Chains A and B, each alone.
Chain A
Amino acid sequence: MKKRIKALGALALGAVILTASSINVSARERSYTYNYDYWGDVQDSPDFYTVTKVYPAEAFGLEDNFVTPQGLFVKDDMVYICDTGNNRIVQLKRTGTEQFEVERIFGSIQGDVEVKDLSQPTDIAVSEEGDIFICDQGNARILKLDSDLNYLLQFDLPVDSTVSADSTFKPSKLVVDTAGRVYCIATSINQGLCKYEADGTFSGFVGATPVTYDLVDYLWKKFATQEQRQRMASFVPTAYDNIYMDQEGFIYACAGGQEEEDLDSGAADAVRKLNLMGTDILVQNGEYPTYGDLYWGEGGGYEGPSYFTDVTVLDNDIYVCLDKNRGRLFGYDDQGKTVFCFGGNGNMDGFFRQPAAIEHMDHDLLVLDSLDCSITLFTPTEFGELVYDAIEQFDEGDYEVSGESWQKVMDLDGNYDLAYIGIGRSLLRQEKYKEAMDYFELKYDDENYSKAYKQYRKEWVEDHIVVIVIVVLAIFLIPLSIGKVKSIKHEIDIADIFRF
């Protein structure tokens, strides 16, 4: 086994060297894609995604370049880009693996409404029926349009006792559910997501992040005077940065800029999965919380935890978070285990200057860079596709096939923990408990190991029940019979009839 792993290690090393040389970057300490193992050590990994192409505005045949684009939305083969600085929205249609064609560009709407021009649109969403929802931030409204851009409805500042009526409404991000309800994040509103019913009425806040504060601040506040207290920072929930609605209707919300201590202690989450009640139901079964990079030391001018600025959820429940701080992408599976980490800040393809939004088209990823004013299209490599295949096959119940796919993944990268656990889970489903245990033990997966071991133990006991009964009986009977024999012998020894 050991030899085999060594061979695999060599293979993985070979793969890393190959990818590193093909990207042709000198003196890089770490491969472009990496992963965290059980110990939290960085393990180089074959590339999970490669850049297919980087698209500036010219690539789509647009005359004027994007200016600080903020929002990105994908529906089927349509891509919507909120070109915030130019007050317009660009709708593209994907016509080939690398080709996008401009479907339409619009900066104004039609219909019975006073202000027809868009002003700094920050996000867009399209409902199942084809209605378009736009965060028209400059005009302090959320617009609901039909597919031909006719005005239908608008959503205004929430009417609530906690929101001052004369404050400006600055919606920044929104999602729409299947029933046409709108959830939006608005700047300076931190009570959670603003929820609007389909008819435009505000119906409350959902899913505020738990308030975190440290004890010292709390005690200070207790003893402070009224004036002092007003000057201190108040304990308020962190506002979300972005939201995404997955295919099942759960909202993934990410909140960057959390305090390091809060992330460490688990008081704050970088990304949350909200159900209808607004409670966090994200599964965190990984060895480490889903907050991106594990090491926050200073390096290359960047320090502090990852700042998740957007999240997207693939159809196989893998969610990808976009880190604005170090320009990286982090993929997590439905158990909260790290699937991949890659990226960085820089000017090369596959690196970012100020990533703002992420979306996915099937397995492909689109990342919008608001400073570079471009969109980067990532496509999974053979390695990435294999991992996705394995996960999807397992979800569909093809456990045997999934195990084979994971085996192929392992052949490409022997340091990939998920592959071992994947093979183990596949073996477990095939009732090969002993082999499954070996795989789980290699990657310290005690939960799954225990599941396999429980079955293995049960099987073993059932197979050896006769031996067990005999051994148990022997343990009791042999000392008992020895004692009996001895006492009989003793009685014989002291018996009168043998006395002379």
Chain B
Amino acid sequence: MIAALNNKIDFQRYLGSLKFALYCITHPLDGFWDLTHEKRGTYAAANTILFLTLLIRVLKLRYTSFIFITVYWEDINIFLYIASVLFPLAMFVIGNWGLTTLFDGKARLGQVYMASCYALTPYPLMQFPLMIFSNFVTVDEAEFYSVLSALSLVWAALLFIAAMGQIHEFGMAKNILFMVASLFAMLVIVFILLLFFGMISQGVAYFISLAKEIMFRL
């Protein structure tokens, strides 16, 4: 990162690609096409957007007015909270890539990740001002917040769909089909993970009990 900062040309490119996110969210079809096909996006910018999303999501807990979010701090695990975004995102990226690569999807794994992160842009962009705004409203005006907050999520969701269609060069129907299929792929991944961890813990437990038994007999 610091090396990149020192390198002025790279830094300019990074800033340019970050700025390009703003173009993407307002011109999704054109923007997401150029993102991969014209190489307008960078991983650095994608990482930045993801980082900002996570940061805002954590900040929201503390700085949103209690009218909207009351936090039972005893139950908050910050790592789990962050993972609640990262884990589904990772599963979606892998699941989506795994499926589309079998069905003429043009994007590579990294590009799916990049497009997904770019599609998240409305979240930090809208939630941060909303977070500040929430402290200046009463319950009667709470609707403004709720509507805008929901809007940021809907916007991001629509961007997700547009992004996947453009980077894979899919038509509308095929795109929607594969979005739904990706959700199923996520379920399959969860299932396999559960199975995997279940097996591993069983296996480990077996050897532990074996060792205990031996130690008991000795």
Binding site for B on A (CB under 8 A): 38-39, 441, 444, 446-447, 449-451, 453-454, 457
A-B complex: 10 closest residue pairs judged by Cβ atoms? A450-B138, A450-B139, A446-B67, A454-B138, A444-B70, A446-B139, A453-B138, A444-B66, A39-B72, A441-B66
CB distance from B17 to the nearest CB of A (A): 28
B interface residue count range (under 10 / 10 to 19 / 20 to 34 / 35 or more): under 10
Inter-chain CA distance A39–B174, complex, in Å, is 46
Contact B140 A450 (CB under 8 A): yes
Residues in B with CB closer than 8 Å to A444 are 66, 70
Inter-chain CA distance A444–B140, complex, in Å, is 16
For the complex, is B197 an interface residue (Cβ under 8 Å from A)?
no
Chain B CB within 10 Å, residue with most, of A38, A451, A453: A453
In chain B, residues 61-112, which have Cβ atoms closer than 8 Å to a Cβ of chain A? 66-67, 70, 72
Residues in B with CB closer than 8 Å to A453 are 138
Residues in B with CB closer than 8 Å to A38 are 70
Cβ proximity bits B135-151 to A, threshold 8 Å, 1 near / 0 not? 01011100000000000
Contact A446 B136 (CB under 8 A): no
Contact B67 A450 (CB under 8 A): yes
Residues in A with CB closer than 8 Å to B136 are 457
Inter-chain CA distance A451–B70, complex, in Å, is 18
Residues in B with CB closer than 8 Å to A447 are 139
Inter-chain CA distance A31–B28, complex, in Å, is 61
With CB as the reference atom, state the residue of chain B lying closest to A454.
B138
Inter-chain CA distance A491–B182, complex, in Å, is 59
Residues in A with CB closer than 8 Å to B138 are 449-451, 453-454, 457
Inter-chain CA distance A201–B95, complex, in Å, is 76
- The B contact surface, by secondary structure, is loop
**CB<8 Å pairs between A and B, sample of 22:** A38-B70, A39-B72, A441-B66, A444-B66, A444-B70, A446-B66, A446-B67, A446-B139, A447-B139, A449-B66, A449-B67, A449-B138, A449-B139, A450-B67, A450-B138, A450-B139, A450-B140, A451-B138, A453-B138, A454-B138, A457-B136, A457-B138
CB distance from B1 to the nearest CB of A (A): 34
CB distance from A441 to the nearest CB of B (A): 6
Inter-chain CA distance A450–B139, complex, in Å, is 6
With CB as the reference atom, state the residue of chain A lying closest to B139.
A450
With CB as the reference atom, state the residue of chain B lying closest to A450.
B138
With CB as the reference atom, state the residue of chain A lying closest to B138.
A450
Inter-chain CA distance A454–B70, complex, in Å, is 20
Inter-chain CA distance A451–B66, complex, in Å, is 14
Inter-chain CA distance A457–B136, complex, in Å, is 8
Inter-chain CA distance A408–B138, complex, in Å, is 30
Residues in B with CB closer than 8 Å to A449 are 66-67, 138-139
Inter-chain CA distance A39–B66, complex, in Å, is 13
Inter-chain CA distance A38–B70, complex, in Å, is 10
CB distance from B76 to the nearest CB of A (A): 13
Residues in A with CB closer than 8 Å to B67 are 446, 449-450
With CB as the reference atom, state the residue of chain A lying closest to B68.
A446
With CB as the reference atom, state the residue of chain B lying closest to A446.
B67
CB distance from B144 to the nearest CB of A (A): 13
With CB as the reference atom, state the residue of chain A lying closest to B72.
A39
Residues in A with CB closer than 8 Å to B72 are 39
Residues in A with CB closer than 8 Å to B70 are 38, 444
Inter-chain CA distance A77–B136, complex, in Å, is 54
CB distance from B180 to the nearest CB of A (A): 29
Inter-chain CA distance A441–B140, complex, in Å, is 17
CB distance from B168 to the nearest CB of A (A): 43
Inter-chain CA distance A32–B147, complex, in Å, is 46
Residues in B with CB closer than 8 Å to A39 are 72
CB distance from B140 to the nearest CB of A (A): 7
Inter-chain CA distance A401–B138, complex, in Å, is 28
Cβ proximity bits B24-59 to A, threshold 8 Å, 1 near / 0 not? 000000000000000000000000000000000000
**Given A444-B70, A450-B140, 11 more pairs with CB closer than 8 A:** A38-B70, A441-B66, A444-B66, A446-B66, A446-B67, A447-B139, A450-B67, A451-B138, A453-B138, A454-B138, A457-B136
Inter-chain CA distance A352–B66, complex, in Å, is 41
Inter-chain CA distance A457–B140, complex, in Å, is 14
Inter-chain CA distance A249–B67, complex, in Å, is 37
CB distance from A464 to the nearest CB of B (A): 14
CB distance from A425 to the nearest CB of B (A): 16
CB distance from A245 to the nearest CB of B (A): 35
Inter-chain CA distance A457–B65, complex, in Å, is 15
With CB as the reference atom, state the residue of chain B lying closest to A457.
B136
CB distance from A439 to the nearest CB of B (A): 13
CB distance from A445 to the nearest CB of B (A): 9
With CB as the reference atom, state the residue of chain B lying closest to A440.
B66
Inter-chain CA distance A65–B140, complex, in Å, is 60
Inter-chain CA distance A375–B75, complex, in Å, is 44
Inter-chain CA distance A38–B66, complex, in Å, is 12
CB distance from A158 to the nearest CB of B (A): 46
Inter-chain CA distance A440–B112, complex, in Å, is 47
With CB as the reference atom, state the residue of chain B lying closest to A455.
B138
